Amino acid sequence: MQLKNKILLLTALLLGGFFLQSCSDEDENTPSTNTIDPSGCYVTQEVIDDGEEIETITYVYNDNNNIITASSVVGTGTPSTTTFEYDGNRIVTATDILNIYEFKYSGNNSIPSRIDIKEGTEITGYYVIQSSGSNVSEFEEHDLTSGDDIIESTTTFEYDSRGNMSKVIASELDEDTEELVPFLTFEGSVYDGKINPYNSSFVFFFMDPGNPSKVGKENLVSGQLNINGLGDLPLAASYEYNNDQYPTSVSLTVPGLITQNTTITYDCK
């Protein structure tokens, strides 16, 4: 993976939190990632401009306010569509042009403990989610295509008292040493205290190949990245909001590396 893509992956993650944060009725500081509230604003479109290309993502919902299709198109290219099936409000399968994703849950949790990735009938990889209390503490990506079970990457998380990420460490497999090697860390310092529009669903994870998730409680304003070979880098984001206090415009910068602007459209109920 190229360095810029690695940085985009992490910063996209940090802007929205982590799509696999658990929910708990007992913890008011923990965002509920899969509890569907009939009121509120639902993301219907994102337009993401990184200065090199523009991606437009469109979402369609069912009567229960669950996303059933998400379509992405870059520039004037061919749209790529992912469909979702549910059992109640829990995703059970997601299907795109290449893979079927099967979600497995522990007990009554609304967040999966494992997601199998299938090509046809063959499982080619899977994700494993570890939790500590009401928050995900580790996310692992496994690859099975070689015949061996290889951990491709891990991400560990720490949280502040409000349920926002205070520290993230991302590691990936070094093919030469066959060991997981940290390639960056992040420490969040300021969040906006306003509504993260992706808080009701982790469907958004599937629609951005450089984004593990967009779900979290609040929106990141500033933090510090440390990237191997580049040292410490400040990350800053600014927002414009609608009358319901949902962000409609997001500007993200890491000086000298990234400038990304996102426009968000909603259906508010």
Judge residue 108's burial from the number of C-beta atoms within 10 Å of its C-beta, 0-12 exposed, 13-18 middle, 19 or more buried.
exposed
For 134-179, the pLDDT digits (tens) are 567 788 899 999 999 999 999 888 888 887 878 888 899 998 999 9
- Residue 22's pLDDT band (boundaries 50, 70, 90)? very low
Token pair in block for residue 135: 């928050």
Query: Whole-prediction pTM value?
Result: 0.82
Average pLDDT, the chain: 82
The CATH number that applies at residue 62 is 2.40.160.190
Q: What DSSP letter does each residue of 111-174 carry, written as one string?
A: S-SEEEEEETTEEEEEEEEEEETTEEEEEEEEE-TTSS-EEEEEEEEEE-TTS-EEEEEEEEEE
pLDDT surpasses 70 at 86: yes
Give backbone dihedrals phi and psi of 199, rounded to 5 degrees, phi first: -70, -20
Judge residue 168's burial from the number of C-beta atoms within 10 Å of its C-beta, 0-12 exposed, 13-18 middle, 19 or more buried.
buried
Query: What is the average per-residue pLDDT within 84-106?
Result: 94
* Nearest Cα to Cα of residue 262 among 50, 17, 10, 72: 50
Output the pLDDT for position 10: 56
Domains identified in the chain, total number: 1
Helix (H) or strand (E) holding 8: helix 3-16
**Residue 74 belongs to domain spanning:** 3-268
For 180-202, the pLDDT digits (tens) are 999 888 888 899 999 888 767 77
The residues, ordered by sequence, that sit 6+ positions from 87 with a Cβ below 8 Å of its Cβ are none
Other Cβ atoms closer than 10 A to 198: 24
